[in-house]
Amino acid sequence: MAMTKEEAAQRARADLASRLGIPEAEITEDGVESIDFPDMALGAPVDDEMSGAMISSGWRIRLKAHEEAYEYRADRRQIRLFNFKGANYRL
Amino acid sequence: MNRQSFPGHLALALTFIMVAAFAGQMRRVQHSQQQRLSACRLTAMKRDAAHPPAAPRAARAPQSAEVIVRFRAGLSFDTIRALVARLNDRVEDRIEAVSNQIIVADEDGLSAEAVAAEYGTLAEVEYAEPNFTISLDPSEDLRFDDVLNQDHGDLDLLDEGVTPNDPMFGDQWALENRGDRDGKAKADISAVRAWSKTKGTRKVVVAVLDSGVDYTHPDLAANIWLRPQSVAAYSDEQLGIIDDVHGFNAADDNGDPMDQNGHGTHCAGIVGAEGGNDIGIAGVNWQVEIMPLKFMSAGGFGTTKDAIQAINYVIDRKRAGVNVRVISASWGSRMKSKALEDVIRKAGDEGILFVAASGNASADADRAPHYPSGYNLPNVLSVAALNRRDELASFSNYGAKSVHIAAPGAEILSTWLGGEYEEHSGTSMATPVVSGVAGLVLSGEPKLTVKQLRERLLQSVDKLDSLSGKVVSGGRINAARAVGVD
């Protein structure tokens, strides 16, 4: 099922709240922008992952919590957390 | 003439004019029919050249003597026409796809052999061959009316040189760049010229290792590999017997490589969407066998293990007698895997070329390698992407030591899920262009080793300033040169 930009942003907020153990209300949205990612892992591959080398349109979702910045990457089919404590995660 | 007889004379004159006009029209129709028959004969000759029959077929001279003459390079068409007229002959047709190749019609009752011999003595002529009609088997013989009425793609092709009748061909700048959309005319792989020699063959199998392929797509279905009855179903120690009718799905461990993403279907169309079928686009190969392999999910990503399993499957099929000679790999990551490297090396040992995307990080892959394109193996070709102006695409990786060749990879139109077509960009799109050209080369020279094939592709490039110091070969792949047209 295709995901919208709004749905992706909502899922990102919920995921971050869960990871940080804080209420969603403490997370602010810094911006959601449309962007072309370099591959089908949205430039955020997880370990042992290969992805199609095709430019993929999606959204960069910037969130902020307790003065820290976080970046999620999403397209209609997937959402990923980019470089969270040095690693990427596929939700 | 008196006034009373005027209406009668007028009616008579009108009747005469109509009869004359009808007769003229009939001559034009007849001439057109003869041209189409000539085209049909040529088609038969070309088809026969591409797929020589097991036994010689009976040949007969055409009713009016026709000769195919190729004049030497540098002669203008006006000069050629004057030469032909001097010999009291007529230029019947011009084969645009082959420079200076002309069909000459004799006007003074000589046989085709005699006309060919006459032209053969001219210093301006490279070769001259009688245009024999290749006789079909009696059961297949076509009547005049059948030829006129049939809707045969090849006839249309010859009317336009070797440009296919696929309606979206005009948007396939990689194959024929007409300078549209800020493009640079002729910044393409010279596919149209290559097709004058070969349009591919279903005797060559190109494996598309990807998210699978929509093997029901109307523009792909005819070119999808079907396991021959002589080859047993795939048997794997862990997976058991897998009925690999069309290929293999390593992501789900079954025999159904149906694409749920679109990426693999797009790549497959670039390699070999059926050409000349009046549908959609043309692949680099009009005819080829595409073996769909699925290791990436609907999201467009997969595991190294599944990639290895799929390559292992290809090697198994090769050993079982399937003529799979190319694996097209439009994917990768920064992670280096020895296991993946080893199985790719093994594929090379089995005579399989591995064509891989160099990656889309706009990076120097010599410093920041991308795999599997970055494995330094004798059967790996790493491919960079060009835009329609013959420039390295802004996203493309490059590497003077580790990226070997470039191919069109931006705004590439190809097949998509649901019988659709989409335009996409990436070294993913450049890779199957190279895989497709490898297939074309093998269609004419099936016994080339991987080393020979790889060298042929690298030595056939058009050198580009934009690629100097960026890729090993310094150029864009040229299909025509690769298949020996030049």
Nearest alpha carbon to residue A12 among A65, A81, A58: A81
Q: Catalytic annotation on B210?
A: yes
Interface contact A55-B395, CB threshold 8 A: yes
Segment B463-476 mean pLDDT? 98
Name the minimum distance, in Å, from the CA of B308 to any CA of chain A: 11
pLDDT at position A22 over 60: yes
Which pLDDT does position B64 carry in this prediction?
A: 64
Q: Which residue of A has its CA nearest to B373?
A: A53
Q: Does position B79 have pLDDT exceeding 50, yes or no?
A: yes
Q: Where are the beta strands (DSSP E) in chain A?
A: 27-37, 49-52, 56-65, 68-74, 79-84, 87-90
Are B429 and B414 a contacting pair, CB within 8 Å?
A: yes
Residue B41: pLDDT over 60: no
Mutate to test the interface with A, among B208, B297, B301, B415 (most CBs of A within 10 A): B301
In Å, how far is B209's CA from the nearest CA of chain A?
10
With an 8 Å Cβ cutoff, are A52 and B304 in contact?
A: no
Task: Name which of B355, B428, B427, B367 is nearest B401 in CA terms.
Answer: B367
Report CB contact under 8 Å: B334, A39. no
pLDDT at position B151 over 80: no
Least confident of A35-44, B38-47, B92-101, B245-254: B38-47
Cis check: omega of the bond before B372, within 30 degrees of 0: yes
Q: pLDDT band for position B162 (50/70/90)? A: confident
Shortest CA distance from B427: residue in chain A: A53
pTM above 0.90, yes or no: no
pLDDT above 60 (res B223): yes
In whole numbers, what is the pLDDT of chain B averaged over residues?
Answer: 82
Place of tokens 């959609």: B280
Lowest mean pLDDT of A73-82, B120-129, B447-456, name the range: B120-129
Which of chain B's residues have a Cβ under 8 Å away from the Cβ of A53?
330-332, 357-360, 426-428, 431
Residue in B152, B217, B246, B263 annotated catalytic: B263
Q: Which of B89, B166, B210, B462 is catalytic?
A: B210
Give me B15's structure tokens: 């009747």
Q: pLDDT per residue over B382-408, tens digit each?
A: 999 999 999 999 999 999 999 999 999
Residue A78: pLDDT over 50: yes
Task: Give the E-state strand segments of B219-329 in sequence order.
Answer: 234-236, 240-242, 248-249, 289-294, 301-303, 324-329
